[in-house]
Amino acid sequence: MAEIGMHRTRWIVDMKICCIGAGYVGGPTMAMIAKQCPEIQVHVVDLNESRIAAWNSSQLPVYEPGLDEVVREARDRNLFFSCKVDSAIAEADIIFISVNTPTKAFGQGAGRAANLEFVEKCARQIARVSKGHKIIVEKSTVPVRTAAAVRQILASEANNATFDVLSNPEFLAEGTAVADLLQPDRVLIGGDGASAVEKLADIYARWVPRERILTTNLWSSELSKLTANAFLAQRVSSINSISALCEATGADVDEVARAIGSDSRIGPKFLKASVGFGGSCFQKDILNLVYLCEHFGLPEVAHYWEQVVLMNQYQKSRFSRQIASSMNNTLSDKKIAIWGFAFKKDTNDTRETPAIDVCIDLIGERARLAIYDPQVDAKTIMHDLRKALAERGRQGELDWLVDHVQVVEDPYVAADQAQAVAVLTEWDQFRSIDPGRLSDRMVGPKLIFDGRRVIDADRMNRAGLSVYRIGQGFRWAHTASSGA
Ligand code: UDX
Ligand code: UDX
């Protein structure tokens, strides 16, 4: 892996950037480039008019700590959001493709392969509109060798325009996007054209130390993104598999995580046991990796990585089963409060959130749910649950959803008359819940199922609440008769 030369700092004047896709990745990434490089014009375009309107308003479509300030500083100075895709492409020197690449829902590779429809559409549009020379940057996570397909489309449809195609995967995590963009562990640029690679590297070098800007060939860069997400998800599935064993043996998963994480070869990060990983990337990218392995005739490698996803599914359903079995296997008409719906704290994103699976399981048991999340609105939650029921062929339960699932704006209100609380996102506010106030609201048996290990079991126990924590099992209330 080469490093870009340390001593060249090129000041890029009059450069124009276009980014197609104003999503969780495109929006924050471009805002950071615009903030750090005031002399570069950055134009973010999207087909979705309401999303663009939100980027131009005071209520950004993406909730990220610190993002408002970054956008405020650059917007209308050198950062612009619009739906004028053709003109933004025509004017740009560098075009980032940051559209979504969901798992294919139909055809060959359905349920596993990435749907590249939007990436290809962008390539065609770029080819049609472009003149002169342009650098095309794949920001979206794509299967290995997608750049070859993009190149082919550009070559076959372009009118005399020429292109360099680079891969520049984004490693930011939601909830910490601004910090990750400000101080990335590394920026990865894959490409064959040295001058194009250097141009892109020069932009990042405005705020990222040169030694953190890594360059590789195109295929290594594309594969590194899938591999990084697979390794991260694998750590979560590994510790989650051990959490089940901890509950069976009396070990505590946090103690195990601390003990193994102190080994510098293992390291302490990404060892938090949870109800399961979510988010738009982990499952999609692993399935994509699995599909690639199968495609290249490597079934053993495919099976190995598939286990990471299967373990995650097991962990989510294990959590729901724990709730049911702790309540006499009868949840019918019992009220359960759901605390947290986002796939992790500090984001309003609910894509692949474990909360969807757990809620759908509980609805299947005919539990009544009151859901609270500080950042996800009621419309999104109900839409996600309706969609999940439909995808599972369970439209017959839509009436139950409408009549017995509500979204509320306060965690204590959610717990009102509830027999149990399930904590599904690690929002900080759940760490400082008042046990007495909560206990007063709830009715017996007053159970808390902590899928994120944020609840202080001792304090809850003293207030008459029993707590199940993932990877630790039950801590019974001092007053509880059952198993104290
Ligand atoms: C996306 C990919 O899903 C991910 O694999 C990649 O790493 C980065 O880009 P994200 O930004 O989270 O991630 O996706 P999303 O929030 O769905 O944003 C994509 C945007 O592209 C949407 O706003 C969508 O309207 C827009 N889009 C999609 C277009 O403008 N044109 C299209 O043809 C398709
Ligand atoms: C991930 C990668 O971290 C990022 O580099 C990539 O660009 C996109 O995918 P993201 O999905 O935004 O980012 O969040 P991340 O912090 O990785 O968390 C993913 C899921 O794993 C969340 O549901 C989180 O709660 C869960 N998780 C993470 C755990 O359960 N335990 C952990 O120790 C860490």
Any ligand 2 atom below 6 A from CB of 169: no
With 50 as the cut, is the pLDDT of residue 77 above it? yes
Q: Which of 350, 412, 409, 339 is nearest to 380 (CA)?
A: 350
Q: How far apart are CA 180 and CA 186, in angstroms?
A: 10
The residue whose CA is least distant from atom 28 of ligand 2 is 270
**Ligand at shortest distance from the CA of 48:** 1
Q: Which of 94, 166, 160, 86 is nearest to 126 (CA)?
A: 86
Q: Kindly indicate the confidence band of residue 7, based on its pLDDT and cuts at 50, 70 and 90.
A: very low
Which pLDDT does position 157 carry in this prediction?
78
Tokens of 415: 């717990």
Which pLDDT does position 159 carry in this prediction?
75
Determine contact, residues 213/204, Cβ cutoff 8 Å.
yes
Q: Kindly indicate the confidence band of residue 6, based on its pLDDT and cuts at 50, 70 and 90.
A: very low
Active-site positions?
281
Work out the number of other CB atoms within 10 angstroms of the CB of residue 106.
8
**Ligand at shortest distance from the CA of 115:** 1
Q: How far apart are CA 115 and CA 15, in angstroms?
A: 31
Mean pLDDT, range 365-394, rounded to an integer: 97
Which pLDDT does position 478 carry in this prediction?
80
Work out the number of other CB atoms within 10 angstroms of the CB of residue 111.
10
Mean pLDDT, range 141-166, rounded to an integer: 89
The residue whose CA is least distant from atom 2 of ligand 1 is 100
The pick from 100, 150, 172, 349 for probing ligand 1's pocket by mutation, whose C-beta has the most ligand atoms within 8 angstroms, reads 100
Any ligand 2 atom below 6 A from CB of 254: no
Work out the number of other CB atoms within 10 angstroms of the CB of residue 180.
19
Q: Kindly indicate the confidence band of residue 483, based on its pLDDT and cuts at 50, 70 and 90.
A: very low
What is the widest separation between alpha-carbon atoms in the chain?
80
Tell which atom from ligand 1 comes closest to the C-alpha of 102: 3
Q: How far apart are CA 315 and CA 434, in angstroms?
A: 28
The residue whose CA is least distant from atom 28 of ligand 1 is 99
Predicted confidence (pLDDT) per residue in 273-309, tens digit: 999 999 999 999 999 999 999 999 999 999 999 999 9
- Name the pTM for this structure: 0.93
- Pseudo-torsion of CA 447, 452, 457, 460, nearest 10°? -50
> Distance between alpha carbon 285 and the CA centroid of its chain, in Å?
11
Tokens of 348: 């309003």
Q: Which of 466, 445, 444 is nearest to 457 (CA)?
A: 466
Which residues are within 8 A (CB) of 50 and not within 5 positions of it... i.e. 6 or more apart?
none
Predicted confidence (pLDDT) per residue in 319-369, tens digit: 999 999 999 999 999 999 999 999 999 999 999 999 999 999 999 999 999
The residue whose CA is least distant from atom 11 of ligand 2 is 279
